[in-house]
Amino acid sequence: MSRIKKVDLDDWDKDLREMTAADSGTPLEQGAMRMFAHTPEISKGLTAFAGSLKQNRSLPDRLVELVRLRVAFHNQCRSCMAIRYKDGQEDGITEDLVCSLEKPMEADNLSDAEKAAIQYGELFATNHLAINDAIYDNLRKYFNESEIVELSMTVAFFVGFGRLAASYHMVEELPESFQADEKETLTPWGNDSIIVR
C-alpha cells in the first residue's frame, strides 16, 4: 500500500485535473499525481515542467525511454520500471531492446549516442560526482549544448521523482511481478507484465 494517502479525483483542484487530463486517465495513469494533489499549486508547476520536458523534446523518444528505464532500475522505482510509454514504443522501443539495458555498454543494438546518454543517466543516479569533463566531452561527440542541457534536466527529473515515487511505494496497482518484497531488486527487463501508457 502507498505510504502517502491518494487524493480522490473528486477532491482534486479543478485546474490540476484539467492540466493533467486526470478525468480521462486511469488511476495508474494518474500515478504519483494522486499524492501530489495534496499540494495543488506546487503540482501545477510540476505538471507544467514535466509537460514542457516532453512537448519541447528534441532528443529521440527512444533514447529518452532507454535512459528513463536504466535510471528506474537504479532508483528501484517499481512503477517506473513497469511502464512503457507509447512514444518510446513508436520510436523503436521493444522488450528485446529493453533487455539490452542489463549491460548497456556491451549491447550491440544501442547506438554510441544512446550508450553515452545511458552512461550519463546511470552516473547521475549512482555517483553524480563521477560526472567529470570526460563524461561531458563524450556527450559532445553526439549532442550539442542544448541537447546536453535537455538530457541533464530530463535525467534530473527521472532521478529525483523516480526516487520519490519509489519511496511512496505505489505498487498495489502494478502487475504482480512488480509487487515483490521491497528488499528484492527488480529490473525493467525480463518481466512478463508491463503497462503501456
Give the model confidence (pLDDT) of 12-58 as tens digits: 999 999 999 999 988 878 889 999 999 999 999 999 999 999 999 99
Question: Measuring CA to CA, which residue among 161, 150, 11 is closest to residue 83?
Answer: 161
Crossing angle for the helix pair 112-126 and 145-168, to the nearest 10 degrees: 50
2 occurs within a structural domain: no
Whether residues 27 and 90 fall in one domain = no
Work out the pLDDT band at 99, boundaries 50, 70, 90: very high
Whether residues 46 and 77 fall in one domain = no
Whether residues 46 and 128 fall in one domain = no
Q: Where a domain ends, among 33, 55, 77?
A: 55
Domain hosting 18: range is 9-55
Residue 80's identity, in one-letter code, is: C
pLDDT of residue 61: 98
129 occurs within a structural domain: yes
**Measured between alpha carbons, how far is 17 from 28 in angstroms, rounded to an integer?**
15
Whether residues 30 and 94 fall in one domain = no
CATH number of the domain to which 148 belongs: 1.20.1290.10
Whether residues 174 and 79 fall in one domain = yes
Contact 43, 51 (CB under 8 A): no
Whether residues 115 and 138 fall in one domain = yes
Average pLDDT rounded to a whole number, residues 98-124: 97
1 occurs within a structural domain: no
- Dig out the grid coordinates for 36 from the structure: 501530489
